[in-house]
Amino acid sequence: MQKEFPVKDLGSLSFFLGIHVTRSSTGIHLCQAKYVTDILHRTKMIEAKPAKSPCPSGSQLSKLNGESLLDPFEYKSVVGALQYCTLTRPDIAFSVNQLCQHMHHPTVTHWSAIKRVLRYLKNTLHHGLFYSSSNLQLNAFCDLDWVGCPDDRRSTFGFAIFLGNCLIFWSSKKQPVVSRSSTEAEYRSLAITTNELFWLRMLFQEIQISLSKAPVVWCDNVSALSLAANPVYHARTKHIEVDYQRKSPQPRHHSILHLHSRPNCRCVHQGIVFSSVSISKIQATSDFIPFLLEGAC
């Protein structure tokens, strides 16, 4: 590139846009410790008591909870900063997703929820993403919190996609429609996850990277897996077909498998986080999936 463009070699990357990059013989660790510390100082939470989870188990924020904040500017500013933190902290994705839904009318209860997230970040200041050399196998994990929003009863779903042991893609967001059954909601979540997985697969083909095996989608809902695997059931689900049958997660170029939930954790949108909060790094392996949605085991 130096022959074509005027560039300057600054050496190995160590810090970029608030993200620390630490290299070792085993891989690369990404974290935002300095950025989080600045947020704690700005909100005067640097001396706050640390928390072990980003939100209490079963937490549901409503627009009717608490009195309105006199000055919502600080709320919006901090939530925006927390959104940037999710670049390396997928474990707060669900909590930040809940907070973002109340930007138009924040209350005292919502501000308390922000403080809980900040206390958790203080306790896990140096957590982040860890990337190491691994195989080229795509694994996707999806789950959801059925009718979890007390205001509109829409479900919140989340997925995490791993390339080998490395977490490369994740999301936590509300579904656009209200689902009348958990099977319908799980099926929608499975369809969206399959679409994202297919997009990644096409991207790898375009840049000429061959995957070692067919991608695998993991889901913990047996009914949704049966619906995806057996087209006979589709005749009974025309109300779902209008939205998602065209994007049906039928296993053609990938596999859809059942994932048993750990007994000591609740599945993603019912609150899966990594049970060992004492670790200093989030290592993106299949042992750390259930984290996108709520915050406590």
Q: Which of the pair, 273 or 194, is modelled with greater confidence?
A: 194
Q: How many angstroms separate the first and last alpha carbons of the chain?
A: 49
C-alpha pair distances (Å), 274 with each of 86, 137, 153, 264, 289: 16, 22, 27, 10, 8
Distance of CA 64 to the CA centre of its chain: 26
C-alpha pair distances (Å), 286 with each of 17, 83, 267: 28, 24, 14
Q: Given this model, what pLDDT does residue 254 score?
A: 57
Helix (H) or strand (E) holding 21: strand 19-23
Q: Given this model, what pLDDT does residue 111 score?
A: 92
Indicate the CATH number of 135-283 among 3.30.420.10, 3.40.50.2020, 3.90.1150.10, 3.40.228.10.
3.30.420.10
User: What is d(CA 24, CA 174) in angstroms, rounded to the nearest whole number?
Assistant: 38
Mean pLDDT of the chain: 77
Phi, psi of 119 (to 5 degrees): -65, -35
In the chain, CATH 3.30.420.10 sits at 135-283
Q: Given this model, what pLDDT does residue 232 score?
A: 64
Predicted confidence (pLDDT) per residue in 56-80, tens digit: 877 778 888 888 888 889 999 999 9
Q: How confident is the model at residue 213 (pLDDT cuts 50, 70, 90)?
A: confident
Is 196 in a helix, a strand, or coil? helix
Sheet holding 282-283, edge to edge: 15-16, 19-23, 28-31, 128-131, 282-283
Q: Is the pLDDT of residue 181 over 50?
A: yes
Q: Note the residue count of the chain.
A: 297
Is 185 in a helix, a strand, or coil? helix
Q: What is the DSSP string of 214-268?
A: --EEEES-HHHHHHHH-GGGGGG-HHHHHHHGGG---SSSSEEEE-PPPTTS--H
Q: How confident is the model at residue 164 (pLDDT cuts 50, 70, 90)?
A: confident
User: What is d(CA 268, CA 153) in angstroms, rounded to the nearest whole number?
Assistant: 18
User: Closest by alpha carbon to 87, among 19, 41, 157?
Assistant: 19
Phi, psi of 292 (to 5 degrees): -80, -15
Q: Is the pLDDT of residue 28 over 60?
A: yes
Residue 100 tokens read as: 């973002």
